[in-house]
Chains A and B, each alone.
Chain A
């Protein structure tokens, strides 16, 4: 790289949390601003999409893209940024695996819209038009981007060089990535900015994990008080720490709450939910068919829990294209 590295940050269907993970670098952010050339960052700087189009192909050294791919215009935008960038980084859980937004894939886009814009109890216009439809969407107005048939993670649309997992990624990790880029090193293809081992390995409660855990009924958070020092699984509470990549500083555990898997699976696991199923099935106490049914009944919404952050990236969706 000649001169300061050129950076872009963009959000698709995100929440702004990944932006915050950059703001939360606090004073270090000033350093980043001084040592780089940030050409596009809607959350913090005044630049337009047209400014990006004006750039030469590959002029951006590293583009950080957060948010899931939900609308057709996200596809165009990330393709544009791919074209303009040497290195594309999936920034945060949504870009990485679709995130919570991906739960939308349990429903059709028609269902999603109708629920929000027609069936909501506070809706004045239950029969009213859906956004982008109806009389007053004339040529005088800018067309409203449409929903894709399903939410997709970034790498289903464009090549992605590196992933920064986490909802949101820890600011320290962001700082580490920027430092590396400022030092003139772009992440190698396939880089994941997190631990290679699952969270269990760095969990403060790991020593309380017994040799064998058998659960005959899973408890729900409102069912019970739990020991704030002992492995959640050992207390019949579902924790996805064994399935989830470490690197989050066990922040939920430190708040005495079980892991929900926002860092995604380890490299060897193609499907987070499958890993979660393998784990939970392994904990189920021996019994007969009916015992197992009862046990599974005690897990509320297993699909939503196991795929909390990764439904859009599930191998079941491999066939999907925008």
Chain B
């Protein structure tokens, strides 16, 4: 499987992360083509099922980006996301889907360069793990 065929879903919060992806565009950053952006309200809207479904639908990685700690426009959304994603990763550790296929991080609206860097890191991280076993997880 060519690494280009890898697909990574980026779940981006409305206030910071999605804008940072736009900023990356405005400043003509390099965002790897494997990244596929999805607009969500808040990283706190991302539930474990959403992530698992992405993997079941063929994602090789899922990146959840929210506002920086303390900057969540919904006050606690990114904290809830942190709790959920860490718990989910703990559960994933018992499955064939490696916990490192899921990444949660923070970026603020202006940081197009950071967004691009996180995207590149995520792609190489997933490349290292290779594509998800086609037979699916459990």
Contact = CB atoms under 8 A, between A and B. Distances in A.
Touch A–B, Cβ below 8 Å: yes
Interface in A274-322: 274-275, 277-278, 280-282, 284, 286, 289, 292-293, 296, 299, 301-304, 306-307, 311-312, 314-320
Contacts of B91: 273, 277, 302-303, 306
Contact of A315 (B49, B134, B135): B49
A150 B86 CA distance: 27
A315 B83 contact: no
Contact of B136 (A304, A306, A316): A316
A260 to B, nearest CB: 16
Given A269-B49, A271-B49, A302-B91, A316 B137 contact: yes
Given A269-B49, A270-B53, A271-B52, A281 B87 contact: yes
B25 interface: no
Interface residues of B, number: 27
Contacts of B80: 281-282
Given A316-B52, A318-B56, A319-B56, A277 B87 contact: yes
A271 B86 CA distance: 18
A105 interface: yes
B88 interface: yes
A91 B90 CA distance: 32
A106 interface: yes
Nearest to A272: B49
Nearest to A270: B49
B86 A278 contact: no
Contacts of B83: 281-282, 284, 292
Interface in B49-107: 49, 52-53, 55-56, 76, 79-80, 82-84, 86-88, 90-91, 93-95, 97
Contact of A316 (B56, B84, B86): B56
B138 interface: yes
A173 B90 CA distance: 37
B49 A320 contact: no
Contacts of A270: 49, 53
A304 B93 CA distance: 11
A319 B76 CA distance: 35
B87 A106 contact: no
B30 interface: no
A311 B138 CA distance: 7
Nearest to A310: B138
Contacts of A106: 94, 138
A293 B86 contact: yes
A40 B97 CA distance: 42
Interface string A73-106: 0000000000000000000000000000000011
Interface string A101-129: 00001100000000000000000000000
B138 A105 contact: yes
B121 interface: no
Given A271-B52, A292-B82, A296-B86, A316 B135 contact: no
Interface string B116-138: 00000000000000000011111
B136 A319 contact: yes
Contacts of A284: 83, 87
A318 B48 contact: no
Contacts of A150: 138
A278 B138 contact: no
Contact of A278 (B48, B76, B93, B134): B48
Contacts of B82: 289, 292
Contacts of B95: 303, 316
14 contacts: A106-B94, A271-B52, A277-B84, A277-B91, A280-B87, A281-B83, A292-B86, A311-B138, A316-B56, A316-B136, A317-B136, A318-B56, A319-B56, A319-B135
The 8 nearest A-B residue pairs measured at CB: A319-B136, A316-B137, A303-B94, A274-B49, A274-B48, A281-B84, A281-B83, A277-B48
